[in-house]
Structure 1
Amino acid sequence: MFGLGVIGLLIYAYTIYDVVSSKFGGQNDKIVWVLVVLFLPLLGTILWFLMGKKTTI
């Protein structure tokens, strides 16, 4: 059980890093994505990998 928590935390941390290091058209998009991932950790991570990565330039 502890291993799943560590894996989940690593995926969550990688998602935040990926959002911050991605190139966007505007700075506001990056702020919105960081807030979505921070306030909705599981859903935000899923949405980022399904929709967000496609919108980066």
Structure 2
Amino acid sequence: METLIPDFSYSLVFWNAILLISIVFWIYALLNLLKSKLEKDDKIIWLLVILFIPIIGSLYYVFIGKKEI
């Protein structure tokens, strides 16, 4: 008789965790950008960077862009 429990994949758990962390980080960067006191043009540029290059743009904003404020 075959087992009904499928094989557990640790790599699937790992990639789901990475995906969840990147989504949370992306949302954090967007909310932080909206609360910032940057000029309108700078906010639009950062918003486009975060939206079109989600993971790298979010990292870039949090580690470099926040220092410009």
1:7 aligns with 2:11: no
Q: Report how many residues are paired.
A: 55
Structure 1 runs (4+) greater than 3 angstroms displaced = none
1:41 aligns with 2:67: no
Please give the secondary structure, in 1, of the residue aligned with 2:64.
Answer: helix
Q: 2:56 & 2:46 partners in 1: Cα distance?
A: 12
TM-score where L is the length of structure 1: 0.82
Any unmatched runs of 5+ in structure 2?
A: 1-14
RMSD over aligned Cα, in angstroms? 1.1
Any unmatched runs of 5+ in structure 1?
A: none
Give the structure with higher Rg (CA): 2
TM-score where L is the length of structure 2: 0.70
User: Where does residue 30 of structure 2 map in the other structure?
Assistant: 16
1:50 Cα deviation (Å)? Answer: 1.9
Please give the secondary structure, in 1, of the residue aligned with 2:47.
Answer: helix
Contact in 1 for aligned 2:22/2:55 (Cα 8 Å): no
Aligned-pair identity in percent equals 31
